[in-house]
Structures are given as C-alpha cells and as structure tokens.
Amino acid sequence: MDPRGRLLMDFFNSMQKNKLKLEINRYGFDFLDKFSAAGIVLEYGQLTPYLIHKYRFLNVPEQCLEELLQWHLDKQGNICLYFNETANNVCCFNLDNNYKDTNTPLIPEMIFSVNILSEFLAELGMEPLVVVSGRGYHLWCRFTEAIDNQRLFDFMIRMEARTLAALHKNNYDYHRIKVNIYPNNQITNIGSLRLFGSEHIRCKIFSYVLTKTGMLDEAESWQRFTDYLENRTIPLQQFQQAYDELMVYFNKSY
C-alpha cells in the first residue's frame, strides 16, 4: 500500500471500512462490473451536475478499499467514509457557507468561524486539524481511544453553539454558516465525509491544511497530517477534562 494510504487508514481507523461513497467522473456498466465481480454491492448511484457520479458501495473487501484509496490519492476520485455506529476515535465539525454558489471567495463569517472554533478547541487542549473542503472547512479531532457517539455529540453541539453565539456577538450573520457534526447517530449511515489527501472532485482544490500562520502547500499539508497523527492525537483523559469544563461553562452561562 502507498505509505500515504496507510496514514489514512491509521488516522481514520475507527470509521466503517466495508462501506463507502465514491465520487468520480467514471461511469458505465463495464466500470461497475469490476466492483460486482469483487463481491461489492452497489446500494445506489447518483448523477450530479458537472457529470460527477456518486456511488455507495457495501461489502467492500480490504484489497478493493486499498485500490480505491489509491485512486483517492492519485486525485482520480474522492473516497468518503462513514463513522462507526457506536463509538469513534475521530470527530469532525463540517463548516460550510449556507449557500450553493461554490465559486465565491470565503465569506467573512466562515473565516471568523473557523478561527474562533479552532481557538475554543485549543483552549480546551483539543487542537484540531483544519482541512479545506468545498465551501468551507473540516475541523478534525482525533483521540487515543474510541468515544461513545452520544458523548462526542453532546460535546460538539455545545461547541457549535459557542461558535454561533460568538458570531452573533461580533456582529456577524450566523445564518450564513452551516455546521454539521460527525458523528451524529441520526445520520451515521447516511452522512459520509471525504478523507484527507485528495483533490475535491468538483472544484479541483486539494485538501490543504490550514494553520495559524496560513495555508500549507500539498507537501506541507501531508507533513502536518502525519505530525497530527503521530504527535497531536488527543489523550482520552484530555477529552474528558474538556467535556467537564464545557459542561461547567454552559451551566454557568445558560
């Protein structure tokens, strides 16, 4: 396996591996027959604008997953994985602008939101990995152990509330920002997220990493991703402390 693929498998190791969504420009019966021959089940296919095809595959063998991850790394398509149904050692805040126009520059509300949410998390000892994605950013946190989905959600929904409140307090329109939280037990088997390390199938922008000092290039982004995996994964005890501190904050504030 490509060493970068092994990094992805390690980083996202709690997510479901036998089910995925593939976003790609390829299509046709010959294309799909290859997957059927490997025992993969096509649950659905969807044609979207710009001739992008989205397929949800079930029963994906490990060997096929490795091949698809290589396509992902070679920028031939995007692999999106689903979170574990009960507990995960990764979580993600998916920040998008609340409009469909993907050609507009980042709106001021987005810039403020990603900065303030990153700051709030860092204050709790939970520095996120911030990755460019479509109309916004993915803010990933990774833990040394899997954490119950509901406990993660309880923490994340309060962090979202703090972010939106900060937007309002600083005279921004919080309606312009959409925050989706993963894992969310209501959409565990519906909503998937694109993995790091690829080029967005529609806008052709790499999943660059954003730091306090600015956007990293592709090579630097891989270095930061590796560093986060090896040196910045959050201890379970740190999450528990952050969770308790956040609950105290909300009990006092609301």
Average pLDDT score over residue span 173-190: 92
Q: Give the integer Cα–Cα distance in Å for 87 and 137.
A: 23
For 162-201, b where at least 16 C-beta lie within 10 A, e where not — what string?
Answer: bbbebbeeeebebeebebbbbbbeeebeebbbbbbbbbbb
Residue range 84-124, pLDDT digits in tens: 999 999 999 999 987 765 556 788 999 999 999 999 999 99
pLDDT band at 19 (very low <50, low <70, confident <90, very high): very high
pLDDT at 168: 95
pLDDT at 46: 81
Average pLDDT score over residue span 204-208: 92
75: left (phi over 0), alpha (psi -120 to 50) or beta: left
Q: Determine whether 95 is exposed, middle or buried from the number of CB atoms within 10 Å of its CB (0-12, 13-18, 19+).
A: buried
For the cut 80, the answer to whether the pLDDT of residue 155 exceeds it is yes
pLDDT band at 164 (very low <50, low <70, confident <90, very high): very high
pLDDT at 104: 60
Q: Give the integer Cα–Cα distance in Å for 164 and 183.
A: 19
Q: Tell me the percentage of the chain whose pLDDT exceeds 90.
A: 74
Residue range 30-85, pLDDT digits in tens: 888 888 888 899 888 887 766 678 999 999 999 999 999 999 999 999 999 999 99
pTM for this model (two decimals): 0.93
Q: Determine whether 71 is exposed, middle or buried from the number of CB atoms within 10 Å of its CB (0-12, 13-18, 19+).
A: middle
Q: Give the integer Cα–Cα distance in Å for 254 and 52.
A: 45
Q: Give the integer Cα–Cα distance in Å for 181 and 187.
A: 10
Amino acid at 232: R
| 228-235 own/partner pairs: CB under 8 Å, 24+ apart | 228/11, 228/129, 228/142, 229/7, 229/10, 229/11, 229/142, 232/127, 232/129, 232/142, 233/142, 233/143, 233/144, 234/125, 234/126, 234/127, 234/141, 234/142, 234/143, 234/144, 235/143, 235/144
pLDDT at 51: 64
Residue 122 CB coordination number (10 Å): 12
Nearest to 153 by CA among 180, 127, 114: 180
pLDDT band at 172 (very low <50, low <70, confident <90, very high): very high
For the cut 70, the answer to whether the pLDDT of residue 29 exceeds it is yes
pLDDT at 200: 86
Domains of the chain as residue ranges with CATH: 3-82 (3.30.70), 87-253 (3.30.70.3300)
Q: Determine whether 133 is exposed, middle or buried from the number of CB atoms within 10 Å of its CB (0-12, 13-18, 19+).
A: buried
pLDDT at 214: 93
